Structure 1
Amino acid sequence: MTWEDAKAACESFSWKLAEIRSQAQQDAVKAILPAGNNHYWIGVKDVVGDNKNYEYATGGSVIYTDWSSNEPNNYKGTAEDCVELRGYEGYEWNDVKCSAKKLSICEF
């Protein structure tokens, strides 16, 4: 699903895209995800498009991050405004185009 579709899917269950707010939450999420090359949307998005103004899907500035090295980067000038957990890098954060198709993690 795209990021917006994933957000809507979570909300259809009265849940939300996972909003990781601490190292403890990051560790808990990583512990339940399978090893491998999977990519999962989380509830974080750059609302301005400048790699600096990240907010949670439910609103409010992001207070914790776990970016992969050299991220966020808008790779090759591409608008990468949504955030995924990237499996092959230990589920660290990566910015990616919101239109990309990914799995998602909902929380309730």
Structure 2
Amino acid sequence: MKANLASVHNMEEYHEIQRLIMSASHEYKKTWIGGSDAQEQNHWFWIDGTPFLYTNWCPGEPNNHGRRKQDCLQMNHGDHKCWDDVQCHRPKPSVCAKKVRFIY
């Protein structure tokens, strides 16, 4: 498949991913996207290699709550449906993206 967990580069992309989640599940489920700080604490990157310039963190996030290693990024957290850093082993739905090339 050659896809990655989705990266988010602006609010429009974020809302499009939310629409996909709502369409598939009929709710705003907490969902994995492709952000991580596993390589260097508090240095977030997209696993597809694109620049991590846009953020939508919830207030007080990312926080490594309880001093646990929270290296993965979930969206649709809390009342504001924003981002939260969480432990990577937790099962949850995910959104993947794949670049496509059109040949004319």
TM-score (norm 2): 0.78
User: Is this contact kept in 2: 1:53–1:61, CA < 8 A?
Assistant: no
SS at match of 2:45: strand
- TM alignment of 1:50-69, pairs within 5 A: 52-69=42-59
Say what the alpha-carbon RMSD is for the aligned residues: 1.8
1:60-90 Cα distance to aligned partner (Å, 9 max, x none): 5411110111111101111101101135434
Hey, what does 2:62 align to over in structure 1?
Answer: 72
> What percent identity do the matched residue pairs reach?
24
Higher helix share: 1
Structure 1 unaligned spans of 5+: 1-12
User: Is this contact kept in 1: 2:31–2:93, CA < 8 A?
Assistant: yes
Instruction: Tell me by how many angstroms 1:25 deviates.
Output: 0.6
User: Is this contact kept in 2: 1:84–1:96, CA < 8 A?
Assistant: yes
1:8-27 Cα distance to aligned partner (Å, 9 max, x none): xxxxx122110001111112
Structure 2 unaligned spans of 5+: 99-104
2:15 is aligned with 1:27: yes
Which letter maps to 1:31?
Answer: R
Structure showing greater radius of gyration is: 2
Hey, what does 1:4 align to over in structure 2?
Answer: none
2:92 is aligned with 1:102: yes
